Amino acid sequence: MHVHTAKEEVEIQKVKGVYDGEGNLNKKINVLKSFDTGVVVLKAKRSLCVEKFSDYPKLGHFTIRD
């Protein structure tokens, strides 16, 4: 997980759903592909400090890479 200037190891515990092109959450699909947007549960090895997107949109982004 890349957040701000930090790189932390995380594990995806569960995929709760994937958003379709209209902004609806499809809970039947449990796989994320490249450039998909969805809701997942992450587990980090250490504690992380990440801003809420609703409070600070520019600081509330992160990237998951394989």
Residue 21 has a pLDDT of: 83
Which residues of the chain are modeled with pLDDT < 50? none
**What distances in angstroms separate CA 46 from CA 42, 49, 50, one per listed residue?**
12, 10, 13
- Please state the domain count of the chain: 1
CATH number at residue 18: 2.40.30.10
Q: Which pLDDT score is estimated for 48?
A: 84
Residue 32: what pLDDT?
85
> How far, rounded to the nearest angstrom, does the alpha carbon of residue 56 sit from its chain's CA centroid?
16
* Domain of residue 51, residue span: 1-66
Q: Structure pTM?
A: 0.69
Predicted confidence at residue 11, as pLDDT, reads: 92
